[in-house]
């Protein structure tokens, strides 16, 4: 019986993923897009390694073989509601709402 390795689907880089101040990762390192240059359809981006602060320029077509993908921000909390901030005041009871003892 043949064994097929698990292949993870890679997210494609879009033009908006290469906008300045966006974040990219290769699964091991975190990069920040410093700037982007567009010249007659070709895109050149300068990305900075967030750990070493080294910045390098790459053509957008070079980022594909490097397995670089965009970092996505979660829009919801993974488990339940986020905890309440400490020091926040509770809402006062309305005058027409009876207090429960």
Q: What is the DSSP letter of 26?
A: -
Domains of the chain, CATH where assigned: 15-70 (2.30.30)
pLDDT reported for residue 72: 82
Report whether 62 contacts 46 (CB < 8 A).
no
66 HSE (CA, 13 A, CB side): 18
First CA to last CA across the chain, in angstroms?
A: 68
Top mean-pLDDT range of 40-44, 72-76, 79-83? 40-44
Over residues 16-46, the pLDDT tens digits come to: 889 999 999 998 999 999 999 998 888 999 9
Query: What is the share, in percent, of the chain residues with pLDDT greater than 90?
Result: 37
More confident residue, 11 or 34: 34
pLDDT number for residue 78 = 62
pLDDT at 84: 60
């Amino acid at each position: 019986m043949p064994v097929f390795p698990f292949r993870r689907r890679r997210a494609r880089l879009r033009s908006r993923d290469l906008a300045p101040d966006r974040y990219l990762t290769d699964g091991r390192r975190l990069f920040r897009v410093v700037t982007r240059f567009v010249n007659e359809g070709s895109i050149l981006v300068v990305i900075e390694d967030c750990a070493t602060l080294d910045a390098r320029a790459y053509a957008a077509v070079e980022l594909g073989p490097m397995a670089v993908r965009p970092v996505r921000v979660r829009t919801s909390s993974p488990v339940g509601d986020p905890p309440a901030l400490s020091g926040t005041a509770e809402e006062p009871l309305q005058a027409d709402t009876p207090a429960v003892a």
